[in-house]
């Protein structure tokens, strides 16, 4: 088993009733050993953990039920903000006492960022591997099995993607498919290009074959993943455009919903909106991080677009035939952000009317240009701006959601709150709807819900069939 702490956009708390592999037959001959993966970070990290688990299964390991029981204990790390990075060493400290007889590994973004330094700070760790080297995991595990003490996979310069024969899927209802790894942008605040390496797209054939397998295994919802998912560039001779890949995944028998995240505004094209318009299976939701409403700050962030260019793309989305919900990410307190820059961000949130905003205070990261920029904003001021922004956005969302009272939506049920005898799920717009129903089992079902009440972050409805 693995324990997952999602801090990504899709903080799904699905009841993991029958999580499993797509292809149990690919599991290796049992070797009597077990593994446990603890994951922090974004959706990409969670899905990487599913694939890393697949590598262990195919080598004959079984999932451990607890950390204490595991022979191999892996920590899949995040380093997007300092807090996430700090957590890693305190967690590794907590694992020190049980290091005897176990293999302890650190994988993911902090592994890449800190490299062999991790062995210095936590000598009980014997594997350090960044995501761009996961394809080497079988070799690294073999080295450890034959007594290797310290093994590393820290190459960044790669054009390969991480393909696994099996993936141990933790979410029984929504299946993730990575279509592009790494990032070729160079936002001045961001560690990702340094931790995940350059952009690599998977061939459209491989993506479509995986999606078909998932549909065959009973999944009805697929989420395509990439740090900049819409920068997808098919390396195969078909050279399928991203919008056409969306259409083809959506056309697979049995697939009822297709989502994709995260889109970069610079690569956001009208064709994506046209594909959504033409294909109801493509969900009415786009996550389009803006980061700031000030062109001056966007330039310092090296986001490659202005406020006006972003708003122009928003106008394409707003002109769609179906109402498409839009969510975003915002950073406040970037070096040099004035009160006026911040106000432009607040005004942009009002103008766009997002259905969700993931907002963060700027956190200086190693190897990034913004780290050495002048005019750092004091932490208290960053916190104040964050609170102001979140209060404002809360009111925007409440007003937007209030307009939905009385409407009816199809909800894919993904959660059961047994204590409250309530169910919850998401609409195509990714809005959360809580509702009560006498049905004993609704997980994975698509139900019609009429909205009776609105809150800022969710809706309350009644099951109407």
- In the complex, what is the shortest distance from the CB of residue 216 to ligand SF4, in angstroms, rounded to a whole number? 32
Determine, following the binding rule CB under 6 A, whether residue 112 of this chain makes contact with ligand 5AD. Answer: no
Which among 21-29, 183-191, 233-241, 419-427 is the span making contact with ligand SF4, rule CB under 6 A?
183-191
CA dist., res. 30 & res. 460, Å (int): 47
- Of 135 and 303, which has the nearer Cβ to ligand SF4? 303
Nearer to ligand SF4, 181 or 341 (CB): 181
Place of tokens 């956005």: 393
Please list every residue from 139 through 198 that binds ligand 5AD, using CB under 6 A. Answer: 189-190
Site string for ligand SF4, 253-292 (x = CB under 6 A): -----------x----------------------------
Nearest Cα to Cα of residue 139 among 223, 238, 55, 22:
55
Q: Which is nearer to ligand SF4, 23 or 269 (CB)?
A: 269
Give Dmax over CA atoms of the chain in angstroms: 64
Nearer to ligand SF4, 115 or 198 (CB): 198
Distance CA 109, CA 129 (A): 9
> What is the radius of gyration, based on Cα positions, of the chain?
22
Site residue total, ligand SF4 (CB under 6 A): 9
Q: Which of 2, 204, 363, 434: binder of ligand 5AD (CB under 6 A)?
A: 363
Long-range (24+ apart) CB contacts under 8 A made by 399-405 are: 400/353, 400/355, 401/431, 401/454, 401/455, 401/456, 401/458, 401/459, 402/454, 403/454, 404/431, 404/451, 404/454, 404/459, 405/451, 405/452, 405/453, 405/454
| 329 is an interface residue for ligand 5AD by CB under 6 A | yes
Among 106, 141, 151, 331, binds ligand 5AD (CB under 6 A): 331
Region 440-459 residues binding ligand 5AD, contact defined as CB under 6 A: none
Q: According to CB under 6 A, which residues from 217 to 236 bind ligand SF4?
A: 227-228
Token couple for 5 = 């702490």
Q: Which stretch binds ligand 5AD (CB under 6 A): 62-70, 119-127, 355-363, 376-384?
A: 355-363
Query: Are 431 and 455 in contact, with CB atoms under 8 Å apart?
Result: no
Q: Is 108 in the site for ligand SF4 (CB under 6 A)?
A: no
Q: 449, 461 in Cβ contact below 8 A?
A: yes
With contacts defined by CB under 6 A, name the span among 123-131, 292-300, 342-350, 357-365 that binds ligand 5AD.
357-365
Q: Which does 183 bind (CB under 5 to 8 A by kind): ligand 5AD, ligand SF4, none?
A: ligand SF4
Of the residues 27, 42, 84, 183, which one makes contact with ligand SF4 according to CB under 6 A: 183
- Considering only residues 63, 193, 293, 444, which one is a binding residue for ligand SF4 as defined by CB under 6 A? 193
Contacts 24+ apart (CB under 8 A), 207-214: 207/177, 207/179, 207/245, 207/249, 208/245, 208/248, 208/249, 208/252, 210/177, 211/177, 211/249, 211/252, 211/255, 212/252, 213/22, 213/23, 214/22, 214/175, 214/177
Is-contact 434 448, C-beta < 8 A? Answer: no
Asked if 334 contacts 439 with a C-beta cutoff of 8 angstroms, the reply is no
**Residue 377 sits in the site that holds ligand 5AD (CB under 6 A):** no
Are the CB atoms for 175 and 19 separated by under 8 Å? Answer: no
Q: How far is the CB of 358 from ligand 5AD (least distance, A)?
A: 7
Residue 185 interacts with ligand SF4 (CB under 6 A)? yes
What is the contact surface with ligand 5AD in residues (CB under 6 A)? 80-81, 189-190, 289, 291, 329, 331, 360, 362-363, 365
Give the binding site for ligand SF4 (CB under 6 A): 183, 185, 187, 190, 192-193, 227-228, 264
């Amino acid at each position: 088993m693995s324990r997952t702490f999602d801090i990504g956009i899709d903080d799904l708390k699905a009841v993991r009733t029958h999580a499993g592999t797509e292809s149990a037959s690919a599991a290796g001959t049992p070797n009597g050993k077990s593994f446990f993966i603890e994951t922090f970070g974004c959706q990409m990290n969670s899905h990487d953990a599913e694939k890393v688990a697949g590598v262990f299964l195919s080598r004959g390991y079984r999932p451990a039920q607890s950390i204490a029981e595991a022979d191999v204990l892996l920590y899949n790390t995040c380093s997007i903000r300092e807090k996430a990075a700090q957590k890693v060493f305190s967690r590794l400290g907590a694992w020190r006492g049980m290091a005897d007889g176990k293999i302890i590994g650190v994988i993911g973004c902090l592994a890449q960022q800190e490299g062999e330094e991790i062995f210095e700070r936590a000598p009980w760790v014997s594997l350090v591997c960044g995501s761009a080297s996961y394809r080497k995991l079988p070799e690294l595990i073999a080295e450890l099995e034959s007594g290797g003490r310290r093994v590393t996979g820290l190459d960044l310069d790669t054009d390969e993607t991480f393909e696994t024969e099996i993936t141990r899927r933790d979410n029984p209802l929504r299946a993730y498919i990575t279509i592009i790894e790494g990032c070729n942008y160079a936002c001045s605040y961001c560690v990702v290009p340094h931790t995940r390496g350059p952009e690599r797209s998977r061939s459209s054939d491989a993506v479509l074959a995986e999606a078909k397998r998932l549909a065959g295994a009973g999944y009805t919802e697929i989420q395509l993943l990439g740090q900049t998912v819409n920068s997808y560039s098919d390396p195969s001779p078909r050279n399928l455009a991203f919008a056409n890949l969306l259409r083809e995944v959506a056309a697979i028998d049995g697939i009822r919903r297709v989502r994709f995240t995260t889109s970069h505004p610079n690569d956001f094209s009208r064709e994506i909106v046209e594909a959504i318009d033409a294909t109801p299976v493509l969900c009415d939701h786009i996550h389009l991080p803006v980061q700031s409403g000030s062109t001056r700050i966007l330039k310092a962030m090296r986001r490659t677009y202005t406020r006006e260019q972003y708003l122009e793309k928003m106008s394409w989305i707003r002109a769609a035939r179906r109402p498409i919900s839009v969510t975003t990410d915002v950073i406040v307190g970037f070096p040099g952000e004035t009160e006026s820059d911040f106000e432009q961000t607040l005004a942009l949130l009002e103008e766009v009317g997002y259905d969700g905003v993931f907002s963060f205070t700027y956190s200086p990261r190693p190897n990034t240009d913004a780290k050495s920029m002048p005019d750092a904003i004091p932490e208290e001021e960053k916190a104040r701006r964050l609170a102001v922004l979140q209060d404002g956005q809360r009111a925007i969302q409440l007003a937007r959601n209030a307009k939905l009272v009385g409407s009816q939506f199809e909800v894919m049920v993904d959660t059961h709150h047994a204590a409250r005898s309530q169910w919850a799920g998401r609409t195509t717009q990714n809005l959360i709807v809580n509702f009560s129903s006498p049905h004993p089992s609704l997980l994975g079902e698509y139900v019609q819900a009429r909205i009776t009440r609105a809150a800022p972050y969710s809706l309350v409805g009644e099951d109407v069939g």
